[in-house]
């Protein structure tokens, strides 16, 4: 069983479209994250949820809206996609938000054309 | 969150020990040091973490200096599969702590 799974693995879409990336973890963790890795390979945190509550929002544009229906899921919805949104998006989870290791998904490569 | 500094790249011969240094001179007393790695096209992978004492697990050893201002990750017998970017992170200890990745060290293992 994959601990943190993301779908889809690849996503190609046109500018202006709305798309969602789903993330599920089966580790029983309380905290989930979204990270963005751009073409320069920098990994930047976007959001963090703890028990379905948003605890970190790193000045991400309003077009990005995370949703956590339960603590095992953290989905990322992106409106009005732009070329600059092209990146690899990683979901992660950890048990609590203090000093615990995080487990990452395999990533979703989003390409906006 | 303490700032960490790592060399941009290193290489090591297969079968030898790879020693990856990290400076975290502004680390506070309660901040752990974490190491992750990212193998090409995969998600980051947790390796090890520690506070004051040296730590060892099945993947690596972590040596933290007594003043806690620096640490070294040791891969005792590097293999080609250890080629990756290695990140040293000190995420802090507040409820808003977050894992912030720097540029890391690109480790190349040569045959």
pLDDT tens-digit profile of A12-62?
Answer: 999 999 999 999 999 999 899 999 999 888 899 999 888 888 888 887 899
B29 has a chain A CB within 8 A of its CB: no
Is A47 within 8 Å of A34 (Cβ atoms)? yes
B53 has a chain A CB within 8 A of its CB: no
State the nearest Cα–Cα gap between A82 and chain B, in angstroms. Answer: 23
User: Quick one: CA dihedral A94, A99, A104, A110, positive or negative?
Assistant: positive
Are A103 and B42 an interchain contact pair (Cβ–Cβ within 8 Å)?
no
CA distance B49 to B89: 9
* B10 class by beta-carbon count within 10 Å (0-12 exposed, 13-18 middle, 19+ buried): middle
* DSSP-derived 3-state class of residue A82: coil
Q: What is the pLDDT of residues B82-107, one digit of tens each?
A: 999 999 998 776 655 678 888 999 99
Tally of residues, chain A = 113
Q: Between chain A and chain B, how many beta carbons pairs sit less than 8 Å apart?
A: 54
Residue B108 confidence (pLDDT): 97
Beta-bridge mates of residue A33: A48, A92
Q: What share of chain B is helix, strand, coil (3-state, %, to 5)?
A: 5, 45, 50
Residue B95 confidence (pLDDT): 53
Are A99 and B32 an interchain contact pair (Cβ–Cβ within 8 Å)?
yes
Q: Which helix (H) or strand (E) holds A17?
A: none
Report phi then psi at A104, rounded to 5. Answer: -105, 150
């Amino acid at each position: 069983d994959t601990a943190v799974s993301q779908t889809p693995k690849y996503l190609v879409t046109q500018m202006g479209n709305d798309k969602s990336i789903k993330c599920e973890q089966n580790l029983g963790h309380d905290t989930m994250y979204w990270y963005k890795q751009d073409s320069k390979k920098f990994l930047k945190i976007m959001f963090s949820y703890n028990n379905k509550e948003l605890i970190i929002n790193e000045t991400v544009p309003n077009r990005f809206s995370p949703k956590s229906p339960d603590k095992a899921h953290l989905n990322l919805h992106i409106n009005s996609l732009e070329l600059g949104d092209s990146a690899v998006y990683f979901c992660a989870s950890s048990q609590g938000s203090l000093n615990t290791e995080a487990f990452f998904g395999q990533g979703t490569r989003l390409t906006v054309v | 969150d303490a700032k960490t500094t790592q060399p941009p790249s290193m290489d090591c011969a297969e079968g030898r020990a790879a020693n990856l240094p990290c400076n975290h001179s502004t680390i506070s007393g309660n901040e752990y040091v974490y190491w992750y790695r990212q193998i090409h096209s995969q998600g980051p992978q947790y390796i090890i973490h520690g506070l004051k004492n040296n730590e060892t697990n099945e993947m690596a050893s972590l040596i933290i200096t007594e003043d806690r201002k620096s640490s070294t990750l040791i891969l005792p017998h590097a293999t080609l599969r250890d080629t990756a970017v290695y990140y040293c992170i000190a995420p802090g200890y507040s409820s808003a702590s977050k894992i912030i990745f720097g540029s890391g060290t690109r480790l190349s293992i040569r045959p």
